[in-house]
C-alpha cells in the first residue's frame, strides 16, 4: 500500500490508519498541498471509506516539516483561471468527503498549520496540537482567499467575528490561543501523535457504525435543522444493534 504514495507515509494500526505528510524532497522541504499531494490524500480517503474495518484516520506531519504550511503557492501561481477553479474544487470536495465520511479524521498538529493546512485541519473531527504549534490564514497578505471551505468552516468553528479577524489580519496565533478560541480541542506538551492514537483507540471501541450514525445525525441536525427527526433515526439505529457492531461486522 505504501508504494502507492510519494508524499504520504501510511501505517495501518488495529482499526485505524496513521497518515504522515512527508513531502518528497530534502528534509527541509515543508509540507504543502499541491495537486499531487491532494490526489494522494483523496486516494487515502477513498480507500479508508471502502475499508469498513477502518474507523479512523490520523493525519500528522513528518518531524521537522510541521503539519501543513498551506497550498503549494508556486504551483498556484502557475495555474490558469480554469485550472485554479479546478484546484479549488478538488480541495473542496476532498475536505467535504472527509467531513461526511463514516469514520473519524483527526489532525495531530506539531508546528505550522496555515492556510490550506488549516482548512484541512478544520475538515477533521478532532484537532490536537503541541504547545509550539502556530496557526494562521495568511492568504490576504498575498492577495489570496482560501478556496477550500475555510470561509465556511472557520466561522462555524470559532465564530464570525474571530474568523474575520484571522482572515483580515493574517495574524499568527499560538496553540494556547487556538485552544481558547475553540479552533483545536487539546494542547499537549508531549508526543501529539501518540496522544491522538490513544484517543482514537478509546473512541473506536464502539465500532465504525456508531461513529457513522453519530456523524450523520450531527451533520443533518446542524445543516438541515432536523435535529428531532435525526435523534429518532439515531435511536432506531442503536436499538437495531448497529451501534454496538464493529466495522468488521463483529
- The pLDDT tens digits for 119-156 are 999 999 999 999 999 999 988 787 777 778 899 999 99
Nine cell digits for residue 205: 471501541
Residue 246 has pLDDT above 50, yes or no: no
Number of DSSP helices (H) and strands (E) in the chain, helices first:
10, 9
Beta carbons within 8 Å of 79's beta carbon, 6+ residues apart? 87
pLDDT, tens digit, 9 for 90 and up, residues 183-209: 999 999 889 999 999 999 999 998 999
Q: What is the number of residues in the chain?
A: 250
Three-class SS state of 14:
coil
Grid cell locating 84:
485554479
- Write down the domain spans for the chain: 2-203, 207-244
Cell of residue 25, nine digits: 524532497
In angstroms, the CA 174 to CA 161 distance is 18
Give the residue among 179, 58, 55, 154 at the shortest CA–CA distance from 108: 58
Work out the pLDDT band at 24, boundaries 50, 70, 90. confident
| Nearest-10 Cα torsion for 68, 28, 13, 116 | 10
Tracing cell 438541515 back to the chain, one arrives at 224
| Residue with the larger pLDDT of the pair 155 and 1 | 155
For the whole model, what pTM was predicted? 0.87
DSSP 64: T
Residue-wise pLDDT tens digits, 202-235: 999 989 999 999 999 888 877 655 444 444 444 4
Res 56 pLDDT > 70? yes
Phi, psi of 165 (to 5 degrees): -60, -45
Task: Answer for the pair 135, 155: CB distance below 8 angstroms, yes or no.
Answer: no
- What value does the mean pLDDT take over residues 107-113? 96
Residue identified by cell 483580515 is: 168
Q: Quote the CATH superfamily of domain 2-203.
A: 2-enoyl-CoA Hydratase; Chain A, domain 1 (3.90.226.10)
Amino acid at each position: 500500500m505504501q508504494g502507492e504514495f510519494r508524499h504520504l507515509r501510511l501505517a495501518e494500526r488495529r482499526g485505524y490508519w496513521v497518515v504522515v505528510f512527508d513531502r518528497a524532497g530534502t528534509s527541509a522541504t515543508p509540507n504543502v498541498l499541491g495537486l499531487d499531494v491532494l490526489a494522494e490524500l483523496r486516494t487515502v480517503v477513498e480507500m479508508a471509506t471502502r475499508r469498513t474495518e477502518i474507523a479512523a484516520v490520523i493525519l500528522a506531519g513528518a518531524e521537522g516539516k510541521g503539519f501543513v504550511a498551506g497550498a503549494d503557492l508556486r504551483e498556484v501561481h502557475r495555474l490558469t483561471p480554469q485550472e485554479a477553479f479546478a484546484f479549488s474544487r478538488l480541495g473542496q470536495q476532498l475536505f467535504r468527503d472527509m467531513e461526511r465520511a463514516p469514520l473519524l479524521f483527526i489532525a495531530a498538529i506539531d508546528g505550522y498549520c496555515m492556510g490550506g493546512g488549516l482548512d484541512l485541519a478544520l475538515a477533521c473531527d478532532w484537532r490536537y496540537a503541541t504547545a509550539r504549534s502556530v496557526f494562521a490564514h495568511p492568504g490576504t497578505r498575498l492577495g489570496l482567499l482560501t478556496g477550500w471551505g475555510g470561509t465556511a468552516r472557520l466561522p462555524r468553528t470559532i465564530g464570525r467575528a474571530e474568523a474575520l479577524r484571522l482572515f483580515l489580519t493574517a495574524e499568527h496565533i499560538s496553540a494556547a490561543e487556538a485552544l481558547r478560541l475553540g479552533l483545536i480541542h487539546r494542547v499537549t506538551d508531549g508526543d501529539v501523535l501518540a496522544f491522538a492514537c490513544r484517543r482514537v483507540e478509546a473512541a473506536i471501541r464502539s465500532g465504525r457504525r456508531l461513529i457513522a450514525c453519530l456523524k450523520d445525525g450531527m451533520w443533518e441536525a446542524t445543516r438541515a435543522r432536523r435535529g428531532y427527526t435525526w435523534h429518532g433515526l439515531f435511536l432506531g439505529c442503536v436499538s437495531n444493534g448497529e451501534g454496538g457492531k464493529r466495522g468488521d461486522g463483529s
